[in-house]
Amino acid sequence: MSHTVNGIPASPGIVIGPTWTFSPPRADVEAYTVANPGVEQLRVRAAVAAAVEQLAALEERARATIGDEEAEIFAAHQMLIEDDDLLADIHNLIETRHVNAEAAVHEIIEATAESMLELDDDYFRARSADMRDIGRRVIYALMGVTADVGRLPPEPSIIIADDLTPSDTVQFDPANVLGLATVRGGPTSHTAILARSLGIPAVVSAPVELGSLANDTPAILDGLSGRVTFFPTTDEVEEAQAQRRDFLERLAGDHATRLEPALTRDGVHVEVVANIGNAEDARRAIDNGAEGVGLFRTEFLYLDRDTLPGENEQIAAYRAVAEIIGDRPLVVRTLDIGGDKAVPYLGFAAEANPFLGWRGIRLIDHHADVLLGQFRALLQASVGADLRIMVPMVASVEEAVQARGILNEAQVALHAEGRPQAERVQFGVMIEVPAAALMADKLAEVVDFFSIGTNDLTQYTLAVDRTNERVAALATPFHPAVLRLIAQTIEKAHAAGKWVGLCGEFAADPAAVPVLLGLELDEFSMAPSAIPTVKAAIRRLDRAECRAIAQDVLNLPTAAAVREYLAAHS
């Protein structure tokens, strides 16, 4: 008899196949007294070095096969595992209690993770899982257990797990992964992000009874609806096969027309561009039909190092992307460090609420030189390009004016030095904070464009940590409050003659396209892989009809009502 569980869709696609339940290798830790603490401390140092080497390899693999943003997960884990205070606590425990290395690592890691869970902050509670992940890796190294899953499962399967760490997910052989389903996690969890990047259908927060699920159980995983069906009937399999064929045919058709412009049925051209993190992403974007770049993340130059990148290093990295993009628009986000991407050499300290703390443009008061150096490098790297620079985490007109003043300073200095620089330059700000959306009319007076970051705008508007699986389902940009902020931003920008883009994951959701078109969004920016599908969705729509749809959903009371309305009108 078939049995269906309902989770949250995390990566689109429909797959049919056997299940394979993943559980990490067991490494039971026993505590015992040692005669020579020095030997145990040496073992810890060797295990940490081995773990760092493994994480560096995972970072390199992720950067080469998935992308820079995903690779940053492993760079952050390396920083956690080499924390001086953490290592000092482990060595001190070995010295004072003459306990073995495995027990000392386990006790300190568990105490640290538990203390994070007790904090009144969702971000640090979520990071407790990262702490346990790196602790597990060090203990594996101490006990000679292979930490990574390698080529498992042995045949193409739907992987079912309580949860998956980033290192678990990136180590699977994609050829043997039909789909992923986890009991925990949200649509912005590491599992979901990596699955979308790899093009693997995924469902998260699915209430699967792992203890009673045998390997090779026949199943259907629907990453479009969030359903997982075990022991499906013949009729259910046939229906899923038909839906899968339709889905794949649509994908093939979308891909075939990916290089054509996104013209609505009534002849309105909509700009569809890409979110990228490096030159390889830029090539992939152009191949997928991107008409430019709507978000070039620059953090990769600043992470996993001890000093700031020099001007020449920055110029080379930015120029590599600019040359690929050519005359197409290139929107670059300046350094967005803070929150979950801190770097020690800029003076970051632990904060109770890092996502509400010292991050993004807020670094400007203490590190204006960093922004000035980045502006200088971008201007020199983009000679002949259509350069558009934006700053993140803006909450006030003063911040925008101050940042624009630094850009002007860089332009004047380069001119005085006789250095070639970009002549076509626009300056914009990210709309991620509700205050910025509410002040859009005033901000529009001092900038050339807005780019709406719906991931953070949703998080801040609804007071929901999008990395916390317990509340992740609440973090939806379909909430009428978020939609109203988007509508107000676009309306105020257009009244001032300024254009608006959107670079959150919302732009890649086909269900959102009619609403955003109706609100008259100028630019949709997304992961390269999503571009063909969104361009095809735009071509099927009439903008005048979408205006009516947008006005209707703005008057609905709940996110569920918005989704139901859009499903009925699709």
**Active-site residue numbers?**
190, 503
d(CA 501, CA 286): 18
Contacts of 118 (CB under 8 A, 6+ apart): none
Per the structure block, which two tokens stand in for 448?
Answer: 């050339």
121, 330, 387, 388 from 327: Cα distances, Å: 45, 8, 9, 12
Report residue 410 as tokens. 């860089």
Calculate ∠ Cα 515-521-523, nearest 5°.
125
Annotated ligand binding at 245? The verdict is no
455 carries a ligand binding annotation: yes
- Give yes or no for a contact between 114 and 60, defined as CB atoms under 8 angstroms apart: no
| Residue 297 annotated as lining a ligand binding site | yes
Instruction: For residue 295, give the nearest of 280, 278, 319, 308 by alpha carbon.
Output: 278
Tokens coding 449 = 């464009």
| 540 labeled binding residue | no
Is 258 annotated for ligand binding? no
Helix (H) / strand (E) containing 500 = strand 499-502
C-alpha span between 462 and 476 (Å, rounded)? 9
Q: Which helix (H) or strand (E) holds 263?
A: strand 262-263
Q: Report the C-alpha dihedral over residues 93, 97, 100, 102, rounded to 10 degrees.
A: -40
Q: Which amino acid is at 404?
A: R
Decide: helix, strand or coil at residue 65: helix
The one-letter code for the residue type at 284 is R
Separation of alpha carbons 28 and 139, rounded Å: 9
Q: How far apart are CA 124 and CA 145, in angstroms?
A: 28
In the chain, the N- to C-terminal Cα span, in Å, equals: 33
Helix (H, G, I), strand (E, B) or coil at 69: helix
Q: Pick the closest to residue 355 from 289, 277, 293, 433 (CA basis).
A: 433
According to the annotation, is 333 in a ligand binding site?
yes
Sequence ranges of the binding site for Mg(2+): 432, 456
Sequence ranges of the binding site for phosphoenolpyruvate: 297, 333, 455-456, 466
Sequence ranges of the binding site: 297, 333, 432, 455-456, 466
